Amino acid sequence: MISISKEFRFDAAHFLPTAPQGHPNSRMHGHSFAAVLTLEGDADAAHGWVRDFAEIEAAVGDLRARLDHHVLNEIKGLETPTLERIARYVFDALKDELPELACVTVRRDSLGESCSYRRA
């Protein structure tokens, strides 16, 4: 089994409507996010790869456009955009087009925080 990873970045605003009153995350704020997609499988005998990185990049394009410079709370499925829900959202958005997708890790590097969602 081989694992490959491809990262994409997006900047977005959000707030956590379930945060306690007065909590800083209850107010609108923004982050720079990095999402790392990990695909697993056997290398294709003809090409020698699990998946062409250009195909991964193409699959990510529409999703990046949906997330980048948007308010995450306004996206169906991300009304409460915790790091955990963002990781699951990215996974669910890409799993059909990238069936080798095994894990999505979403990071907020400036805060040293990340969350991973793995295929069951």
pLDDT in tens, 88-108: 999 999 999 999 999 999 999
Show the domain range for 47.
Answer: 2-118
Q: pTM for the whole thing?
A: 0.95
Angle, helices 53-67 vs 83-94, to 10°: value is 130
Among residues 84, 96, 93, 87, the alpha carbon closest in space to that of 36 is found at: 87
Q: What is the CATH number of the domain that holds 45?
A: 3.30.479.10
pLDDT in tens, 69-85: 999 999 999 999 999 99
Distance CA 74, CA 93 (A): 16
Q: How many domains does the chain fold into? A: 1
